[in-house]
Amino acid sequence: MDQNILESLSGLDRADLPRILSALPFGVAVLDAERRTLFLNRALESLTGFSTADVAGVFCRHVLRGSFCLHGCPCLSQGGESAAPDACGESREGTLINRHRRKIPVRLTSLPILDRAGNFLCTLDVLEDLSALKDMETRLSISASPGQMVGRCAVMEHLLRILPAVAQSGSPVLLTGESGTGKDLLAEALHRFSPRTRESFVRVNATPMPEALLDAELFGQAEGPDGLPRPGKFQLAQNGTLYLSEIADMPLAQQGRLLRLLDEKAVLPAGGDRPMHLNVRVVAATGRDPEEMVKAGLLREDLFHRLNAVRLHLPPLRERGEDVGFLLAHYLKLFAAKFRKQVLGFSDKAQALLASYDYPGNVRELRNMVEYAVMVCPGETIQPEHLPAHLRFPLAAGATDAAQALPAQGKPSGAHKPARKKA
Amino acid sequence: MGKKILVTLYRDEVAPRFDLCSEVLLVTVDATGHEVRRQDLVLAHSSADDLCDLILDREVAVVITGGIEEEHYHYLRWKRVEVIDGVAGLSGEALALYLRGELEPGAILFKGLSHE
């Protein structure tokens, strides 16, 4: 380290300043006015893989190799000259690539050091390794992502495998499956994996309402109450994806307009005379059997065939076999992280209860159960008493072996059926 | 049989980061090592993936660059592209050294500061 700068830094003749800097738990680089490297402390040597001897006099951009070095270095002007000292001082996050070809997230704070007369002496670049924080952030954001679809059974694996290709295709998609199986998540995933991902994802719930109102809601109005054109859901989804969460709720008249929209890629707003060109991908879902709906006259046959070009069926949880155990573990981890609790697993009895339940509400019900259990569990292991009452009801009758005590039942139809032993 | 050498650029230096480089120098040399063509390519945007594609599309044999992520390094090596990475110095000097067979990975070429 340059002794003159060192002396000026401390105002004293202190030869131990490098040792002091090296004792700091974060990386420190001392740079001259041209941002050439004078000194790296031990933490930064470890982070970058370079020793001070290797890189003394080398421009810091070749040592730190930070994302902030090439574009927007806080201490260099556009022309590459050193900027005024007061231009430094702010913190910024980025990455560096070290000598071992590892990309490391870091936070850089550049601090200009001035002498007593206010003259620039050197810059201290302080780098904090954010790897651990970023890892945790990524883990939590992935776990907590609302669009996250998980599953290990053969059907789900097949579905997840073809999902990216279907998403890329741009064709209309029909999603079928019982309530709580994840149709909404699948629709979001289709949008997220599609080239339209940066555009809008508009969800439409065609709840019963006067047809004229629904028409305006869906297809817009040429002239709204304020005299201005009022965009409908389809216009709002321009270039993006429109998700019809229950196609059976849509009146037949609107189904006809939707069919024309799919064919002509244009829509005529209510009260308008000029069709508006639309580029919208339609994803429709239903919890019922679409063929039965067509027979019952609830779904137009031509629209059904148009949507049915790509059909994805989400199986109910009771048909997903090993996924129950996998999903229990998945949501336990997710909610333990979310609630910052050290809940590590289920007791044997709780596991037996959960494994023998039919989950008429499918994944949504399982997820809610685990959320509740993690919330009320005070220790590391979820016990039967931490599960919702309707699930542990048979245990309250005095049975000791949960699996044996559960009465055999048929296929569940209600949302709150007591647990039963699996065949 | 000639070959193509690609040097990632940051101004007149070898770019310190492969993934952030937005300009490359593409030099074709003949079997005797004489330069027969030189192109300066400005990239639409910085992207390590796109740069790998360009390297393969142009049938580049050698890449001279600064820091490169392991994933891209091994990908290029797997595609039989020689990668001389970790080079800190002027691009012209790095290229000249390579053509003389003297450029090593990790070379620091700034005058009077070589420590390799």
Nearest Cα residue in chain B from A104? B69
Kindly write down the DSSP assignment for every residue of A203-220, as one continuous string. EE---S--HHHHHHHHH-
Contacts of A65 in chain B (CB under 8 A): 16-17, 66-67
Average pLDDT of chain A to the nearest whole number: 79
Per the CB < 8 Å rule, is A101 touching B11?
no
The answer to which of A148-162, A337-351, A361-375, B56-70 has the lowest mean pLDDT is: A148-162
Q: Verify whether the Cβ–Cβ distance B70 to A80 is below 8 Å.
A: no
Question: Which pLDDT score is estimated for A253?
Answer: 83
pLDDT in tens, A268-284: 887 778 888 888 999 99
In the structure encoding, which two tokens stand for residue A66, read together? Answer: 């930070």
Q: What pLDDT digit, counting tens, does each position of A221-237 carry?
A: 877 777 777 888 888 88
What is the structure's pLDDT at A231? 85
Residue numbers in A near B16 (CB within 8 A): 61-62, 65, 69-70
What pLDDT sits at residue A229?
78
Containing structural domain, residue B55: 3-99
CATH number at residue B88: 3.30.420.130
Interface probe with A: pick from B17, B21, B22, B72, most Cβ of A within 10 Å: B17
Examine residue B109 and state whether it is found in any structural domain, yes or no: no
ipTM of the complex: 0.92
| pLDDT at A3 > cutoff 90 | no
pLDDT bin (cut points 50, 70, 90) of residue A264 is: confident
Q: Does B86 contact A70 at a Cβ distance shorter than 8 Å? A: no
**C-alpha angle A128-A134-A136 in degrees, rounded to nearest 5:** 125
- In chain B, residues with a C-beta closer than 8 Å to the C-beta of A40 are none
**Contact assessment for residue A330 and residue A312, using Cβ atoms and an 8 Å cutoff:** no
CB contact under 8 A, B66 and A67: no
Would you state the pLDDT for residue A74? 62
Share of chain A above pLDDT 70, in %: 80
CA distance B3 to chain A (A): 26
SS (H, E, C) B56-83: HHCCCCEEECCECCHHHHHHHHHCCCEE
Q: Which two tokens stand for residue A358?
A: 């039919």
Average pLDDT over residues A129-153: 63
Determine, yes or no, domain membership for B31.
yes
| Degrees to nearest 5, angle at CA A259 with A254 and A261 | 95
> Closest approach of chain B CAs to the CA of A421, in angstroms?
49
Q: A131-145, A156-170, A220-234, B89-103: which range is least confident on average?
A: A131-145
Q: Per the CB < 8 Å rule, is A65 touching B17?
A: yes
Tokens representing A159? 């579905």
B110–A61 C-beta distance less than 8 A: no
- Cβ distance A80 to B11 less than 8 Å, yes or no, reads yes
Q: For residue A212, what pLDDT is reported?
A: 78
pLDDT reading at A148 higher than 70: no
Q: How does pLDDT run across A66-87, given as a tens digit for each residue?
A: 988 877 676 665 444 554 555 5
Task: Name the residue with tokens 């402390």.
Answer: A41
What pLDDT does residue A235 have? 87
Looking at the 3D structure of chain B, how many domains does it have? 1
Identify the structural domains of chain A with CATH numbers, from first to last: 3-129 (3.30.450.20), 154-314 (3.40.50.300), 318-405 (1.10.8.60)
Which of A53, A57, A69 has the CB atom closest to B16's CB atom? A69
Is residue A177 scored above 80 in pLDDT?
yes
Q: Which residues of A touch B11 (CB under 8 A)?
A: 80
The C-alpha of B2 sits at a distance from chain A's nearest C-alpha, in angstroms, of 30
Q: What is the C-alpha to C-alpha distance for residues A60 and B95, in angstroms, rounded to an integer?
A: 22
**B112 found inside a domain:** no
Could you read off the pLDDT tens digit of each residue along chain B, which spans 116 residues?
789 999 999 999 999 999 999 999 999 999 888 999 999 999 988 899 999 999 999 999 999 999 999 999 999 999 999 999 999 999 999 999 999 999 999 999 986 444 44
Over 50: is that where the pLDDT of A47 sits?
yes
Pick B16's closest partner by Cβ from A62, A80, A103.
A62
Give residue-wise pLDDT tens across range A282-332.
Answer: 999 999 898 998 998 888 999 999 988 899 999 998 888 878 888 898 889
The predicted-structure confidence for A394-412, as pLDDT tens digits, reads as follows 544 444 444 333 333 333 3
Residue B78 lies in a domain: yes
Q: Which residue has the higher pLDDT, A241 or A230?
A: A241
Whether B9 is covered by a domain: the verdict is: yes
Question: Rounded to an integer, what distance in angstroms lies between the CA atom of residue A255 and that of residue A249?
Answer: 10
Report if residue B83 sits inside a domain.
Answer: yes
> What is the DSSP secondary structure assignment for residue A196, as one 8-state letter?
T
More confident residue, A421 or A90: A90
Confidence at residue A143, expressed as pLDDT on a 0 to 100 scale? 43
Per-residue pLDDT at A115: 77
- pLDDT of A250 reads 83
Q: Tell me if B114 is assigned to some domain.
A: no
Mark out the alpha helices in A174-289 (DSSP H runs).
183-192, 211-219, 233-236, 252-264
Closest partner CB to B67 (pick from A58, A65, A80): A65
Asked whether the beta carbons of A408 and A420 are under 8 A apart, the reply is yes
Instruction: Report the b/e string of A242-260 with b at 16+ CB within 10 A.
Output: bbbbbbbbbbeebbebbbe
Nearest beta carbon to residue A67 from set B20, B73, B86: B20
Per-residue pLDDT, A137:
59
Give chain A's contact residues with B (Cβ, < 8 Å): 53-59, 61-63, 65, 67, 69-71, 80, 96-103
Which tens digits make up the pLDDT trace of A354-404?
Answer: 888 888 999 889 999 999 999 998 888 899 899 988 887 654 444 444 433
The answer as to whether B106 is a domain residue is no
pLDDT confidence of A15, banded at 50, 70, 90? low
A172-180 mean pLDDT: 91
